[in-house]
Protein backbone atom coordinates (compact mmCIF):
# COMPACT_ATOMS: atom_id res chain seq x y z
CA UNK A 1 0.00 0.00 0.00
CA UNK A 2 1.33 3.42 -1.01
CA UNK A 3 0.34 6.70 0.48
CA UNK A 4 0.41 9.92 -1.50
CA UNK A 5 1.34 13.10 0.32
CA UNK A 6 -1.29 15.85 0.37
CA UNK A 7 -0.78 18.08 -2.70
CA UNK A 8 1.13 15.42 -4.62
CA UNK A 9 -0.13 13.11 -7.34
CA UNK A 10 0.62 9.37 -7.47
CA UNK A 11 3.42 8.47 -9.94
CA UNK A 12 1.00 6.59 -12.21
CA UNK A 13 -1.31 9.59 -12.41
CA UNK A 14 1.62 11.83 -13.18
CA UNK A 15 2.66 9.51 -16.00
CA UNK A 16 -0.83 9.57 -17.51
CA UNK A 17 -0.98 13.34 -17.21
CA UNK A 18 2.44 13.55 -18.82
CA UNK A 19 1.26 11.43 -21.75
CA UNK A 20 -1.89 13.52 -22.12
CA UNK A 21 0.14 16.73 -22.06
CA UNK A 22 2.68 15.37 -24.54
CA UNK A 23 -0.12 14.28 -26.87
CA UNK A 24 -1.82 17.66 -26.61
CA UNK A 25 1.38 19.56 -27.31
CA UNK A 26 2.31 17.28 -30.23
CA UNK A 27 -1.11 17.70 -31.79
CA UNK A 28 -1.00 21.44 -31.19
CA UNK A 29 2.31 21.72 -33.00
CA UNK A 30 1.05 19.49 -35.81
CA UNK A 31 -2.11 21.56 -36.16
CA UNK A 32 -0.09 24.76 -36.39
CA UNK A 33 2.37 23.29 -38.88
CA UNK A 34 -0.41 22.06 -41.16
CA UNK A 35 -2.75 25.01 -40.66
CA UNK A 36 -4.96 25.01 -43.75
CA UNK A 37 -6.54 28.35 -43.04
CA UNK A 38 -5.33 31.77 -42.03
CA UNK A 39 -7.30 34.64 -40.58
CA UNK A 40 -6.10 37.93 -41.98
CA UNK A 41 -7.02 41.35 -40.61
CA UNK A 42 -6.22 44.23 -42.95
CA UNK A 43 -6.07 47.55 -41.11
CA UNK A 44 -5.83 51.08 -42.47
CA UNK A 45 -3.24 52.80 -40.27
CA UNK A 46 -3.45 56.24 -41.84
CA UNK A 47 -4.79 59.18 -39.85
CA UNK A 48 -8.51 59.72 -39.44
CA UNK A 49 -8.08 63.16 -37.92
CA UNK A 50 -10.26 65.99 -39.19
CA UNK A 51 -8.71 69.29 -40.16
CA UNK A 52 -10.25 72.64 -40.95
CA UNK A 53 -11.18 73.73 -44.46
CA UNK A 54 -12.94 71.89 -47.27
CA UNK A 55 -9.78 70.86 -49.11
CA UNK A 56 -8.18 69.33 -46.04
CA UNK A 57 -11.25 68.09 -44.19
CA UNK A 58 -9.93 64.54 -44.50
CA UNK A 59 -6.52 63.23 -43.56
CA UNK A 60 -4.71 60.00 -44.33
CA UNK A 61 -5.76 57.69 -47.14
CA UNK A 62 -8.74 55.50 -47.92
CA UNK A 63 -7.77 52.03 -49.17
CA UNK A 64 -9.56 50.38 -52.06
CA UNK A 65 -11.33 47.01 -51.59
CA UNK A 66 -8.46 44.48 -51.50
CA UNK A 67 -7.81 41.12 -53.12
CA UNK A 68 -6.16 38.25 -51.22
CA UNK A 69 -4.77 35.26 -53.12
CA UNK A 70 -3.14 32.06 -51.85
CA UNK A 71 -1.05 30.39 -54.50
CA UNK A 72 1.88 28.19 -55.46
CA UNK A 73 5.37 29.31 -56.44
CA UNK A 74 4.20 29.23 -60.06
CA UNK A 75 2.18 32.43 -59.57
CA UNK A 76 3.54 35.94 -58.96
CA UNK A 77 1.34 38.99 -58.36
CA UNK A 78 4.12 41.56 -58.84
CA UNK A 79 7.81 42.15 -58.23
CA UNK A 80 9.25 45.27 -56.61
CA UNK A 81 11.78 46.82 -59.00
CA UNK A 82 9.92 45.60 -62.08
CA UNK A 83 7.09 47.16 -64.09
CA UNK A 84 3.68 46.61 -62.52
CA UNK A 85 1.49 44.18 -64.48
CA UNK A 86 -1.90 45.54 -65.58
CA UNK A 87 -3.59 43.57 -62.79
CA UNK A 88 -1.66 45.69 -60.26
CA UNK A 89 -1.57 49.12 -61.93
CA UNK A 90 -5.34 48.95 -62.45
CA UNK A 91 -5.64 48.70 -58.68
CA UNK A 92 -2.91 51.29 -57.97
CA UNK A 93 -4.34 53.91 -60.34
CA UNK A 94 -8.05 53.51 -59.88
CA UNK A 95 -8.78 50.85 -57.28
CA UNK A 96 -10.07 48.54 -60.05
CA UNK A 97 -9.52 44.99 -58.77
CA UNK A 98 -11.49 43.26 -61.51
CA UNK A 99 -8.36 42.53 -63.59
CA UNK A 100 -6.57 40.84 -60.69
CA UNK A 101 -9.73 39.00 -59.65
CA UNK A 102 -10.30 37.70 -63.18
CA UNK A 103 -6.70 36.50 -63.41
CA UNK A 104 -6.72 34.81 -60.00
CA UNK A 105 -10.14 33.18 -60.39
CA UNK A 106 -9.10 31.72 -63.74
CA UNK A 107 -6.14 30.03 -62.02
CA UNK A 108 -8.12 28.47 -59.15
CA UNK A 109 -7.48 24.74 -59.27
CA UNK A 110 -3.97 25.15 -60.66
CA UNK A 111 -1.54 27.73 -59.26
CA UNK A 112 -4.20 29.49 -57.14
CA UNK A 113 -5.97 27.85 -54.20
CA UNK A 114 -8.21 30.57 -52.79
CA UNK A 115 -9.28 34.14 -53.55
CA UNK A 116 -10.86 36.54 -51.06
CA UNK A 117 -12.23 39.95 -52.09
CA UNK A 118 -13.92 41.62 -49.12
CA UNK A 119 -15.57 45.06 -49.07
CA UNK A 120 -17.51 46.86 -51.76
CA UNK A 121 -16.39 50.34 -50.69
CA UNK A 122 -12.98 51.75 -49.65
CA UNK A 123 -11.65 50.91 -46.20
CA UNK A 124 -11.78 54.12 -44.08
CA UNK A 125 -8.84 55.43 -42.10
CA UNK A 126 -8.18 53.42 -38.90
CA UNK A 127 -10.78 50.83 -39.92
CA UNK A 128 -10.12 47.13 -40.59
CA UNK A 129 -11.58 44.10 -42.32
CA UNK A 130 -10.95 40.39 -41.62
CA UNK A 131 -10.98 37.50 -44.08
CA UNK A 132 -10.19 33.79 -43.99
CA UNK A 133 -8.02 32.23 -46.71
CA UNK A 134 -7.07 28.63 -47.37
CA UNK A 135 -3.55 27.35 -47.86
CA UNK A 136 -1.85 23.98 -48.26
CA UNK A 137 1.67 22.67 -48.68
CA UNK A 138 1.80 23.44 -52.39
CA UNK A 139 -0.16 26.71 -52.19
CA UNK A 140 1.49 28.32 -49.19
CA UNK A 141 2.06 31.84 -50.55
CA UNK A 142 -0.08 34.92 -49.95
CA UNK A 143 -0.34 37.93 -52.23
CA UNK A 144 -2.65 40.92 -51.92
CA UNK A 145 -3.06 44.48 -53.15
CA UNK A 146 -5.13 47.59 -52.33
CA UNK A 147 -4.91 51.15 -53.67
CA UNK A 148 -3.84 54.09 -51.55
CA UNK A 149 -7.05 55.73 -52.67
CA UNK A 150 -5.99 59.37 -52.79
CA UNK A 151 -2.78 58.95 -54.78
CA UNK A 152 -1.95 58.77 -58.48
CA UNK A 153 -0.72 55.17 -58.45
CA UNK A 154 0.05 54.23 -54.86
CA UNK A 155 -0.83 50.89 -53.34
CA UNK A 156 -0.13 48.61 -50.43
CA UNK A 157 0.55 44.96 -51.10
CA UNK A 158 2.35 41.75 -50.43
CA UNK A 159 3.71 39.43 -53.08
CA UNK A 160 4.47 35.82 -52.23
CA UNK A 161 4.55 35.80 -48.41
CA UNK A 162 5.25 32.24 -47.16
CA UNK A 163 2.31 31.51 -44.82
CA UNK A 164 3.78 28.19 -43.66
CA UNK A 165 6.34 30.13 -41.63
CA UNK A 166 3.51 31.56 -39.48
CA UNK A 167 2.51 29.30 -36.59
CA UNK A 168 0.86 31.82 -34.27
CA UNK A 169 -0.08 35.41 -34.96
CA UNK A 170 2.11 37.80 -36.93
CA UNK A 171 1.54 41.48 -37.72
CA UNK A 172 3.22 42.96 -40.76
CA UNK A 173 3.38 46.73 -41.29
CA UNK A 174 2.95 47.81 -44.89
CA UNK A 175 4.58 50.88 -46.39
CA UNK A 176 3.17 52.24 -49.62
CA UNK A 177 4.44 51.36 -53.08
CA UNK A 178 4.43 53.54 -56.17
CA UNK A 179 3.33 51.32 -59.06
CA UNK A 180 5.55 53.34 -61.44
CA UNK A 181 2.76 53.51 -64.01
CA UNK A 182 1.48 57.08 -63.54
CA UNK A 183 3.36 60.25 -62.69
CA UNK A 184 2.69 61.58 -59.21
CA UNK A 185 1.14 64.87 -60.36
CA UNK A 186 -1.19 65.10 -57.34
CA UNK A 187 -3.36 67.21 -59.66
CA UNK A 188 -7.14 67.52 -59.84
CA UNK A 189 -7.70 65.74 -63.13
CA UNK A 190 -5.58 62.76 -62.14
CA UNK A 191 -7.02 61.99 -58.73
CA UNK A 192 -10.52 60.63 -58.74
CA UNK A 193 -10.83 61.50 -55.08
CA UNK A 194 -10.78 65.20 -55.94
CA UNK A 195 -13.76 64.77 -58.23
CA UNK A 196 -12.16 66.04 -61.44
CA UNK A 197 -11.53 62.70 -63.17
CA UNK A 198 -8.88 60.04 -63.11
CA UNK A 199 -6.68 60.80 -66.12
CA UNK A 200 -3.43 58.93 -66.78
CA UNK A 201 -0.01 60.45 -67.33
CA UNK A 202 2.09 57.36 -68.04
CA UNK A 203 5.25 57.10 -65.98
CA UNK A 204 6.89 54.06 -67.57
CA UNK A 205 8.64 53.20 -64.33
CA UNK A 206 8.87 50.24 -61.99
CA UNK A 207 7.40 49.46 -58.57
CA UNK A 208 9.28 51.40 -55.89
CA UNK A 209 8.71 52.64 -52.37
CA UNK A 210 6.19 55.49 -52.39
CA UNK A 211 7.53 58.88 -51.34
CA UNK A 212 4.16 60.03 -50.00
CA UNK A 213 1.98 63.02 -50.77
CA UNK A 214 4.06 66.19 -51.28
CA UNK A 215 1.19 68.61 -50.81
CA UNK A 216 2.45 71.15 -53.38
CA UNK A 217 -0.33 70.50 -55.93
CA UNK A 218 -4.06 69.90 -55.44
CA UNK A 219 -3.74 66.94 -53.09
CA UNK A 220 -3.39 68.33 -49.55
CA UNK A 221 -0.39 67.38 -47.47
CA UNK A 222 -2.88 66.08 -44.87
CA UNK A 223 -3.33 63.03 -47.09
CA UNK A 224 0.27 61.99 -46.51
CA UNK A 225 0.81 58.93 -44.33
CA UNK A 226 4.61 58.89 -44.01
CA UNK A 227 6.80 58.31 -42.09
CA UNK A 228 4.55 55.60 -40.65
CA UNK A 229 3.21 52.52 -42.39
CA UNK A 230 -0.01 52.93 -44.37
CA UNK A 231 -1.58 49.65 -43.31
CA UNK A 232 -0.96 46.37 -41.53
CA UNK A 233 -1.84 42.71 -41.94
CA UNK A 234 -2.33 40.60 -38.83
CA UNK A 235 -2.18 36.94 -39.81
CA UNK A 236 -3.21 34.06 -37.53
CA UNK A 237 -2.82 30.38 -38.38
CA UNK A 238 -6.13 28.60 -37.77
CA UNK A 239 -5.96 24.83 -37.09
CA UNK A 240 -8.38 22.52 -38.92
CA UNK A 241 -11.61 21.69 -37.04
CA UNK A 242 -10.52 18.01 -36.98
CA UNK A 243 -7.34 19.03 -35.15
CA UNK A 244 -9.40 20.83 -32.53
CA UNK A 245 -11.36 17.59 -31.96
CA UNK A 246 -8.09 15.70 -31.50
CA UNK A 247 -6.84 18.41 -29.17
CA UNK A 248 -9.98 18.11 -27.06
CA UNK A 249 -9.77 14.30 -27.00
CA UNK A 250 -6.10 14.53 -26.00
CA UNK A 251 -6.92 17.02 -23.28
CA UNK A 252 -9.94 15.21 -21.79
CA UNK A 253 -7.98 12.59 -19.74
CA UNK A 254 -5.96 15.43 -18.24
CA UNK A 255 -9.07 17.43 -17.36
CA UNK A 256 -10.68 14.32 -15.85
CA UNK A 257 -7.64 13.60 -13.68
CA UNK A 258 -7.38 17.19 -12.52
CA UNK A 259 -11.07 17.23 -11.59
CA UNK A 260 -10.70 13.96 -9.65
CA UNK A 261 -7.65 15.38 -7.94
CA UNK A 262 -9.53 18.52 -6.90
CA UNK A 263 -12.40 16.42 -5.54
CA UNK A 264 -9.94 14.23 -3.59
CA UNK A 265 -8.21 17.29 -2.15
CA UNK A 266 -11.54 18.80 -1.16
CA UNK A 267 -12.59 15.64 0.69
CA UNK A 268 -9.17 15.11 2.31
CA UNK A 269 -8.77 11.69 0.70
CA UNK A 270 -5.58 12.31 -1.26
CA1 LIG B 1 3.82 57.05 -59.76
Mark whether 113 and 205 lie in a shared domain. yes
Mark whether 134 and 251 lie in a shared domain. no
CB of 61 closer than 8 Å to CB of 43: no
Residues 6+ apart with CB under 8 A from 92: 84, 145, 147, 148, 151, 153, 154, 155, 177, 178, 179, 181, 182
Cis before 116? omega within 30: no
Q: Which residue has the higher pLDDT, 6 or 85?
A: 85
pLDDT at 263: 55
pLDDT tens sequence across 185-242: 999 999 988 778 888 899 999 999 999 999 999 999 999 999 999 999 999 999 766 6
CA distance 262 to 128: 44
Mark whether 43 and 92 lie in a shared domain. yes
Q: What is this structure's pTM?
A: 0.77
The Å distance, Cα 208 to ligand 1 centre, comes to 9
pLDDT at 245: 54
Mark whether 248 and 128 lie in a shared domain. no
Name the residue range of residue 267's domain: 243-270
CB-CB neighbours of 147 under 10 Å:
30
pLDDT at position 246 over 60: no
Mean pLDDT of 103-125: 97
Mark whether 253 and 156 lie in a shared domain. no
Mark whether 233 and 247 lie in a shared domain. no
pLDDT at 7: 38
Task: Output the average pLDDT for the chain.
Answer: 82
pLDDT at 17: 39
Mark whether 234 and 269 lie in a shared domain. no
Mark whether 82 and 167 lie in a shared domain. yes
Tell me whether residue 5 is in a domain: no
The Å distance, Cα 101 to ligand 1 centre, comes to 23
Tally of domains within the chain:
2
pLDDT at position 247 over 60: no
The Å distance, Cα 83 to ligand 1 centre, comes to 11
The Å distance, Cα 190 to ligand 1 centre, comes to 11
pLDDT at position 25 over 50: no
The Å distance, Cα 177 to ligand 1 centre, comes to 9
Mean pLDDT of 63-81: 98
Tell me whether residue 177 is in a domain: yes
The Å distance, Cα 93 to ligand 1 centre, comes to 9
CATH of the domain at 129: 2.60.40.2130
Mark whether 184 and 261 lie in a shared domain. no
Amino acid sequence: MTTAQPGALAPRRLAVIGLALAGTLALSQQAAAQAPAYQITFKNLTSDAQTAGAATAQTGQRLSPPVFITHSAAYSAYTVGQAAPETIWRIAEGGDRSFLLNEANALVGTSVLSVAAPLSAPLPQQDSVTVLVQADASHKYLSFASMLGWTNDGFVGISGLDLSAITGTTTINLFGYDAGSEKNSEANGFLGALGFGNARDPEGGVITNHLGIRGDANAPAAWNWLPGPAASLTITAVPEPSDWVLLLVGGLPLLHLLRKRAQADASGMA
